[in-house]
Structure 1
Amino acid sequence: MRPSTLNRLRARGAAAAALAAALVAGALAVAAPSLASPGDGGAELTATTTATTTSSAEPDVPPGETASSKITHLSNQPKNGALQATGSDIAFQGKYAFAGNYDGFTVYDLSDPENPEQVVQVYCPGGQNDISVHKNILVLSTDSSRSDDSCNSTTLPATNKEAWEGIKVWDISNPLEPEYVQSVETDCGSHTHSLAPAKNKRDLYVYVSSYFPSETFPDCQPPHDKISIVKIPLRTPTAASIVSTPNLFPDGGYEGDDRGSYTQTTGCHDITTYVEHDLAAGACMGDGVLMDISDRERPKVISRVRDTENFAFWHSATFNNDATKVVFTDELGGGGLATCTGEYAPELGANGIYDIKRKWFGKRELVFKSYYKIPRINTENENCVAHNGSLIPVAGKDLMVQSWYQGGVSVFDFTDSRNPRELAWFDRGEGLSGGGTWSTYYYNGYAYSNDLSIGFDTFDIDNTIDGKAEKVRLSSLNPQMQESFGR
């Protein structure tokens, strides 16, 4: 593997901060989930109340420049053709990468992993078009009110009863000729989704996450404390349908606070399944949850955590390989804030790392350990906050590669839950990307990233970090449907 270069890096001390207050973990009834809270502070998440450095700090990567440490940028496939909107999530199967875009999706051939080839472009607008694949099935999320469920639809106000939102199911028996076969409308649409194959191996369950209900939306009425579960028969995907809409928060979840509407639990933003362990972790806006999904149609919340001091918007979740930890991300500001300027404390817009502790009678509980945030200073014009990433399959270690919008790509080690540390990074300075990188995932020896504005990137991580991971060969990767890479 090629060695990468270090151009500029300002030391800022540890990226993770100690927990401000002790966890409160009460003993609850057997039927109820455990609830822990890392502090009950009511401080607003603003630059003025949480400043740790001045806003005039010089950025570590100057505008118009690119810098890296132990990561080499190998190639970029620019956005082109009909898909000019925002690049979103990525899924992998065999030698192909399927990259979402608010206008549809692109299929890349990874036969030459250092320079992927675009082989298919599918125009089907309906943001975010988050994407997953399983065997011959591809699923797209539509969280944009449309005139109908076709790929020729136009926008329609959510206040219109005829508006459509939900998931689209595709047959990718031939990845070079995807065939749209079915749609399923879901309440409040599908902002994201996660796959959970059935134990019978004949059916595929799709956990649909959506949020922000309104009394003015006929198909998205409050309270919206549920998810939609769609069942797709693998042999007859045209029979896909909703089989349940479990309420995850019978008590209503977190009511929110003066930091903004994103702090209120009004559905889930993202769920990650780990079917080998019959677990799922949900980032549900105001609450982080651990679920038992042994009954795929009836998931049960078994542990809840809430951070009213530092977490503003529970965005996504990633298990470690042996399902003893969860990394939750806080997308403070919804992805539009510049939280890496030094004005925001390292606990804000960061990852929260939680251990999964086994209690009496097999019960499991989420226990907070630390925060992780990239240590570089950005300019005030660069949106920067924790976003989508995946594990790097190195046995015996917990390594993750992650997107931080215009904060770039970060590789960090959270083997020691209390002391996460950055190992490598790549960062484009202000002005080179209109929004930065949405998702970065590790697949068969390389890291692939979907940038909001400039296309599909390929990275080589230094061999001292991922040398053992290069020997691990996966047949597929859906980061929101984790599978073990061995021990």
Structure 2
Amino acid sequence: MGGMGAAALLLVAACSQQPSEAPRPAAAGSSAPSTSGPGDALKGPEKVDEVATSPNVKLVVNVPPSGLLNGPEAWGTDLAFQGNYAFVGNYEGFTIYDISQPTKPSVVSQVVCPGGQNDVSISGDLLFVSVDDRRSDETCEADRGDPTSPKAWEGVRIFDVSDKTRPKYITSIATSCGSHTHSLVPGKSADTLYVYVSSPGPEPGTTTCKPPHTDISIIEVPTKDPAKAKVIAQPDIFPQGAGDQQVAGCHDITAYPEKKLAAAACFGDGVLLDIADPAKPKVLQQIRDTENFAVWHSATFNNDATKVVFTDELGGGATATCTAETPNTKGANAIYDLKDGKLTKRTYFKMPRAQTGDENCVAHNGSLLPIPGKDIMVQAWYQGGVSIWDFTDSDNPKEIGYFERGPIGGGEGMLGGSWSAYYYNGYIYSSDITKGLDVLDISDPLTDPAKKARIDEFNVQTQVGY
């Protein structure tokens, strides 16, 4: 744990990069394609950077990468929202956008502070940033550290963003095996906030990720004095042992505090948690899908917490798993019904346009649209683009809209596409790994009720009811 002065991080304010005009969409398919998954009948665009959308989806604007967060490995990652601002993570730091005019987002500030993945969450004036990348120390100037060094660091950094033009580094908290992602869980009073930290491991021979690693880390943050944040617990959430014998721990945890529940996607397992006491989560159920799931990546509750969608990140996000040859049940979503604290699998959904063998594509980050009585998600699929799909009928999910670009070029192994796609106050915001921030609009009878909803603060891994 430690702090540092203003000189220790590089801040680039009010970058001059302007949004680009949205290109005209290429010819698009039906707004309600087949739910069978990728195949020869439906193909995504095959020309480099060619844009295709369903008739009900429009690319409003793209804000390309800019400033010092525009290098060859300055990849865009996760998003969080507060009022008129979007916070976008990047392997080299993070950017704060003014989205008061969603059709004309502008960069307010950039902070250069390397450390993959730099996933972000916002609470009040505090921005939390995950680092799952051993550094030589916790500062923003640190380089990649020797894994055997006692000074090697990875974990969670906290910034004060009360002044959006000049974020300030507050402190850092080292966590076991770092922080691949994290989730915020409110305490019983506004004075306390908990951070559930997910990370893979173990890595024998390292100082930051020693075996065993069958737990998560829980950080307690005194919101009035965040510099005193510390790890208070490391509960083992695998009563049956970890399903993946090589990599344990969790990839992502989604909390639904109002329902006193959390769903953890933990590499080889899905875990349902009771979080009535946020400092002492209890395992309700541990599930596995050894036939179809390779990497349990993330989870999303429906609005009334009677369903959970788990995603499978087959290939780790860097391979082409949306080709016509890949089974529809792999690298897909699994829909589970939730009743009386028990999960029951119903079916799978995979975005239905086959991608080329040069496009990394698999189920990735998404969010529920705020529509009472309907279960509709928007979801990122890397170079598979953005899919909007309806799972109100658990047994018959269907896509109702999409946006995607053709291959980014450069041949097999290129990393690109939508990392996260979330619905916020009337628009879909997509963090594209190499293209920057996309703003999309969907106009459809099924999704139009969501346009009326307004949220003051939005972290996808902390769900709220509508």
The whole-number CA distance in structure 2 between the counterparts of 1:6 and 1:302 is 47
- Contact 2:240/2:286, CA 8 A, preserved across alignment: no
Instruction: Summarize the Cα distance change of 1:241–1:273 in structure 2 as closer, same or farther, 3 Å threshold.
Output: same
Q: What is the CA distance between 1:13 and its match in structure 2?
A: 4.1
Q: Aligned in 2, Cα 1:13/1:356: closer, same or farther, shift over 3 Å?
A: same
Q: Which of 378, 382, 385 is the matching residue for 1:408? A: 385
2:201 counterpart SS class: coil
Q: Is 1:86 aligned with 2:75?
A: yes
Corresponding residue for 1:395?
A: 372
Structure 1, unmatched stretches of 5+, are 17-51, 359-363
Asked if the contact 2:382–2:418 (Cα under 8 Å) also holds between the matched residues in 1, the reply is yes
Once the 2 structures are TM-superposed, how far is the Cα of residue 425 of structure 1 from its aligned partner? 0.3
- CA 379–222 in structure 1, closer or farther in 2 if over 3 Å, else same: same
Aligned equivalents of 2:183, 2:63: Cα separation in 1: 27
Rounded Cα–Cα distance in structure 1 between residues aligned with 2:185 and 2:67: 33
Deviation at 1:221, TM superposition (A): 1.4
In the aligned structure 2, how far is the partner of 1:218 from the partner of 1:66?
46
- Kept after mapping to 2: 8 A contact 1:74/1:115: no
Q: Give the counterpart letter for 1:397 in structure 2.
A: K
Provide structure 2 residue ranges, at least 5 long, that are not aligned to the other structure: 1-21
Query: 2: distance between equivalents of 1:405 and 1:176?
Result: 30
1:372 corresponds, among 335, 346, 349, to 349
- One-letter amino acid of the counterpart of residue 182, structure 1: T
Deviations 1:196-254 (A, max 9, x none): 01012211100001112122112211220001100111111111011111111144221
Corresponding residue for residue 15 of structure 1: 36
Return the offset for 1:174.
2.1
Q: Is the Cα contact below 8 Å between 2:35 and 2:350 reproduced in 1? A: no
**Larger deviation, residues 169-178 vs 292-301:** 169-178
| 1:72 and 2:58 aligned | yes
CA distance in 2, matches of 1:471, 1:188: 41
Confirm whether residue 483 of structure 1 aligns to residue 461 of structure 2.
Answer: no
Partner residue of 1:242 out of 231, 234, 238: 231
Which of 214, 221, 225 aligns to 1:225? It is 214
* Aligned counterpart for 2:417 among listed residues 431, 436, 440: 436
Paired AA for residue 9 in structure 1: G
Find the partner of 1:63 among 47, 59, 63: 47
Q: Distance in 2 between matches of 1:15 and 1:476?
A: 36
Q: Which residue identity does 1:340 align to in structure 2?
A: C
TM-aligned CA distance change 1:58 to 1:136, over 3 Å: closer
Residue 204 of structure 1, aligned match among 190, 193, 201: 193
Aligned residue number for residue 457 of structure 1: 438
Structure 1 distance, partners of 2:352, 2:140, is 42
Cα contact 1:225–1:250 (8 A) shared by 2: no
SS in 2 for 1:223: coil
Q: Does the aligned pair in 1 maintain the 2:33–2:400 contact within 8 Å?
A: no
Deviation at 1:58, TM superposition (A): 8.4
Question: Post-superposition shift, 1:53?
Answer: 6.0
SS in 2 for 1:317: strand
Query: Could you say which residue in structure 2 is the equivalent of 1:45?
Result: none
Query: Which sits farther off after the overlay, 317-326 or 153-162?
Result: 153-162
Amino acid at match of 1:465: L
Q: Which residue of 1 aligns with 2:131?
A: 142
- Distance, in Å, in 2 between the alignment partners of 1:226 and 1:385 is 26
1:9 and 1:376 in contact (8 A); partners too: no
Name the structure 2 match of 1:346. Answer: 328
Provide the rounded CA distance (Å) in 1 between the counterparts of 2:82 and 2:311: 26
Three-state SS of the structure 1 residue aligned to 2:44 is: coil
Q: Distance in 2 between matches of 1:6 and 1:368?
A: 37
CA, structure 1 residues 213+406, in 2 after alignment: closer, same or farther (shift >3 Å)?
same
Deviations, residues 443-462 of structure 1 (Å, cap 9, x unaligned): 00000010111101100011
Q: What amino acid sits opposite 1:333 in the alignment?
A: G
Which amino acid in the other structure matches residue 75 of structure 1? V
1:463 Cα deviation from its structure 2 partner: 3.8
Q: CA deviation at 1:466?
A: 2.2
Given that residues 58 and 379 in structure 1 are in contact (C-alpha distance below 8 angstroms), is that contact kept between their aligned partners in structure 2?
A: no
SS at match of 1:394: coil
Shift of 1:137: 1.1
Structure 2 residue 182 is matched with structure 1 residue 193: yes
Report 1:282-297 matches (<5 A). Answer: 282-297=264-279
Alpha carbons of structure 1 residues 223 and 250: separation in structure 2 relative to 1, 3 Å: farther
Selected match of 2:287 from 305, 308, 317 = 305
| Cα contact 1:9–1:60 (8 A) shared by 2 | no
Q: Which residue in the other structure is 1:336 paired with?
A: 318
- Give the alignment partner of residue 469 of structure 1, picking from 450, 454, 457: 450
**Cα RMSD for the two superposed structures:** 1.9
Task: Give the distance between the partners of 1:399 and 1:12, measured in 2 at CA.
Answer: 15
The counterpart of 1:385, out of the listed 344, 358, 362, is: 362
Specify the alignment match of 1:19 in structure 2: none
Aligned pairs for 1:149-188 (under 5 A) are 149-188=138-177
1:123-177 CA-partner distances (Å, limit 9, x unpaired):
1111100000011111000111101111111111323222000100111222222
Q: Equivalents in 1 of 2:42, 2:224: separation in Å? A: 57
Detail structure 1 runs of 4+ shifted over 6 Å in the superposition. Answer: none
Kindly state the Cα deviation for residue 434 of structure 1 after the two structures are TM-superposed. 4.8
CA distance in 1, matches of 2:351, 2:108: 35
Tell me the SS of whatever aligns to 2:445: helix
Alpha-carbon contact 1:115-1:458 (below 8 Å) kept? no
| Structure 2 residue corresponding to 1:281, chosen from 256, 263, 272 | 263
**C-alpha distance after superposition, 1:16-69 (max 9, x if no partner):** 6xxxxxxxxxxxxxxxxxxxxxxxxxxxxxxxxxxx968xx8843122221100
The whole-number CA distance in structure 1 between the counterparts of 2:306 and 2:42 is 39
Q: How many angstroms apart in 1 are the aligned matches of 2:415 and 2:234?
A: 37
CA distance in 2, matches of 1:205, 1:459: 32
Distance in 1 (alpha carbons) for counterparts of 2:47 and 2:365? 24
Distance 1:158 1:187 in 2: 13
1:7 deviation in Å?
A: 1.6
Offset, 1:441: 0.4
Equivalents in 2 of 1:243, 1:15: separation in Å?
A: 46
Q: Secondary structure at the match of 1:400?
A: strand
Question: Superposition pairs for residues 27-38 of structure 1, below 5 Å?
Answer: none
1:326 equivalenced with 2:347 (yes/no):
no
Q: What's 1:27 paired with?
A: none
Q: Per the alignment, in what secondary structure is the counterpart of residue 483 of structure 1?
A: coil
- Counterpart of 1:7, as a letter, is A
**Do the aligned residues in 2 keep the contact of 1:5 with 1:71 (CA within 8 Å)?**
no
